[in-house]
Amino acid sequence: MFAPVALGRLTLANRFVRSATWEGMAAVDGSVTEKLTETLVRLAQGGVGLVIAGHAYVQKQGQAGPWKLGVHSSAMQPGLTGLTGAVHAAGGRIAAQLAHAGQAALVALSGEEAVGPSDGEGFRAMTEAAIESTVEAFAKAARLCRESGFDAVQIHAAHGYLLSQFLSPYYNKRTDAFGGSLANRARFLLAVVKRVRLAVGPGYPVLCKVNSEDFVPGGLTVEEAVTVAGWLKEAGLDVLELSGGTGDSGRLMPVRPGKIQSPEGEGYFKVAAGRIKAAVDLPLILVGGIRSFEAARRLVADGVCDAVSLSRPLIREPELINRWKSGDLRPSTCISDNLCFRPAKNGEGIYCLTEKVAAEKAAKG
């Protein structure tokens, strides 16, 4: 788990990845701040093999929430370059997650009408011209990230955001070339992957995050996810990160609440991951409900995945990977209560509120 590993064109110091999340620490205009840099540097210092910076919007129209990172403009480049330089100086590697929220975008922030695969309350169906413009926006953002020193880019096609919306028949009710069959629903995503590959060149690592399934009635299925994974490989993808769920999935949303009771219960999407690994020769990173070193080691040893991604455990303990490497193999102390998102919504940036409250109580005696 702690030996260097090659995942396609991407080489990491170990098999642990920090999965992208909303840090809530960028400036109002999407630019990098000192606080965001310090947070990602701390993860690199904590031993994470790859830090993925979260939900960076490729168009202002696609901004999902406040204080998110922007990769939509060359004006962002000085801050992005400073960020990657700081992570590299700390001995880490960093990727940017390229995202567009689609119909889930916050109109109050973007000042533009939200769009998605189909018409709905508060959003409109994208025209083919708008789809082409967004494909090019992903490509330009990827080129900007490469030029700013990122070691890789990740295309966000999971969790009910734009590319996930097009993949899912739950959201996608189109009857044109971008709706109906799985091949049509995947057309947008595959166009993005191919254009990004052209933009960054043949040797630069390109990752993609997709759902194993949507966990909504009539949503993307595991069988469809297996097929899409094969198409992504053919399109030039280097590494797949597998997740699941959307904002409409209730308790099966991507950040499921509730403490995991045993190592056997870890790895929400491990069955789907095993099916994809058996069918498609593509390096796979598995995220979701991994809390112990033993569960992470077993998932890799059993061939379910090639690396594991952690998000909330690294909010609670940014130095978790170094702790495990030192021989302290106690599970993460994260209890999956999702209170870490509360301070981010208040403009403070994401942190473990549960830990802070416990420390304050202890200090008061």
- Catalytic residue numbers read 161
Helical (H) or strand (E) element with 17: strand 16-18
Residue of 55, 149, 148 lying closest to 104 (CA atoms): 55
Maximal CA-CA distance, the chain: 65
Please classify residue 90 by burial: count the beta carbons closer than 10 Å to its beta carbon, then call 0-12 exposed, 13-18 middle and 19+ buried: middle
Under 8 Å between Cβ of 30 and 69: yes
> Positive or negative CA dihedral for 207, 213, 216, 220?
positive
The Cα–Cα gap between 338 and 194 comes to: 35
Give me the residues paired with residue 308 across strands: 16, 286
The Cα–Cα gap between 293 and 308 comes to: 10
Phi, psi of 264 (to 5 degrees): -65, -25
The Cα–Cα gap between 66 and 344 comes to: 9
Query: Which tokens belong to 344?
Result: 């981010």
Under 8 Å between Cβ of 56 and 96: yes
Give me the residues paired with residue 50 across strands: 17
Q: How far is CA 183 from CA 245, 290, 321, in A?
A: 21, 32, 39
Q: Write the Ramachandran bin of 243: left for phi over 0, alpha for psi from -120 to 50, otherwise beta.
A: beta
